[in-house]
Structure 1
Amino acid sequence: MIISHGTLSTPPEHAEGARTLLRQVAQASRQDAGCTLYVVSEDLEQPGHFVITEHWDSMADMQAHLALPGVGEAVAAAHAMGATDLTITAYEGGAQTRIM
């Protein structure tokens, strides 16, 4: 399993547009092959700062997702809104252990 942690921050005047964009990206991404989780959260203390959590069956599935035209368009739209820290870090996960 691939676990991905992403961040994105926009200026306050673009936070609502970023919410809309990220909602659309999340809904579309959940339909992609190999996507088992795609959640976007907003930092309660920093409006306009978003955390993106993704789970993929494989790195190949995640890379296929990232190569889709819609993903590139969303990245361009985020940059047009002044996104300052668009990052994605992927980790290969092992066996799942439920803590609670």
Structure 2
Amino acid sequence: MILITGHVILTPEHRERMIALGAEHSARSRGEAGCLAHHCHVDVENPDRLVFVEEWESADAVRAHFAVPASGAFVAEMRRLSPEPPVIRIYAAEDITAKLMG
């Protein structure tokens, strides 16, 4: 499994637009092949930060996701609206819930 985390800083003048864009991007992404989960959240400790958490079946699914024109347009728009570049981290992950929780 591939786990992706990321965030973007919201600005007062673009806050609602950026949240709407994040929600639209997550909803669209959940319909893509290989997407197990894709959500955006306003950080409760920093309400000016929009956080993304994604789970994908494989690196190939992530590559396909990044190749979708709407994904590139989303990142470009967030870059334009935010005072800081978006942050993204991509991890290869193993679900060990059963091992730890019995």
Task: Return the TM-score normalized by structure 1.
Answer: 0.89
The answer (yes or no) to whether the contact 1:23–1:40 under 8 Å persists in 2 is yes
Matched with 1:67 is: 67
RMSD: 1.6
1:3 aligns with 2:3: yes
TM-superposed deviation, 1:67: 1.1
Q: Distance in 2 between matches of 1:83 and 1:69?
A: 23
The answer (yes or no) to whether the contact 1:15–1:47 under 8 Å persists in 2 is no
Structure 1 segment 1-100 matched on structure 2, within 5 A: 1-97=1-97
Q: Distance in 2 between matches of 1:27 and 1:53?
A: 12
Please say which structure displays the higher CA radius of gyration: 2
SS at match of 1:12: coil
Q: Distance in 2 between matches of 1:15 and 1:48?
A: 8
TM-superposed deviation, 1:94: 1.5
TM-superposed deviation, 1:88: 1.2
TM-superposed deviation, 1:83: 4.6
What number of residue pairs does the alignment pair up? 100
Report sequence identity in percent: 31
Q: Which has the higher helix share?
A: 2
Q: For the structure 1 residues 58 and 13, does the alpha-carbon distance in structure 2 shift closer, same or farther, using more than 3 Å as the test?
A: same
Residues 4-31 of structure 1 show CA distances to partners (whole Å, capped at 9, x for unaligned) of 1111112222111111100100110000
* Structure 1 gap ranges (5+): none
